[in-house]
Chain A
Amino acid sequence: MTINIAIIVKLEPDFSEGNVSYNSDGTLNRAETKNTLGPHSTIAARAAFYAKVKYDARVSIGTMGPPIAESALQMAQRICDAEELHLYSDRIFAGADTLATAEVLKTGIQKMQGKIDIVFSGHRASDGETGQTGPQTAWKLGYTFFGNVTDYEVNVQNRTIRVKRLVSLQGFNDIIEEVDAPLPVFISIDPSYKPVFNTISKRLAYEKYEKEAKIRSDNYKQYLRVFNVQQLGVDPILVGLPGSPTIVYKVERIPKGKANRKAEVFDGSNPEHIKKAVAKMREALAAMVIK
Chain B
Amino acid sequence: MSVRHALLALLSEGPKYGLQLREEFEARTGEVWPLNVGQVYTTLQRLERDGLVESDGAEEDSPQKGFRITPEGESELAGWLRTPPDLASPPRDELVMKVLVAMRVPGTSVHEVIQVHRRYLIELMQQWTRIKEDEAEFDVALALVVDAELFRLDAVIRWLDSADGRIKRADLDPPEQAPAALPRLRRRVGVRR
* A and B from one complex: no
Binding site for B on A (CB under 8 A): none
Binding site for A on B (CB under 8 A): none
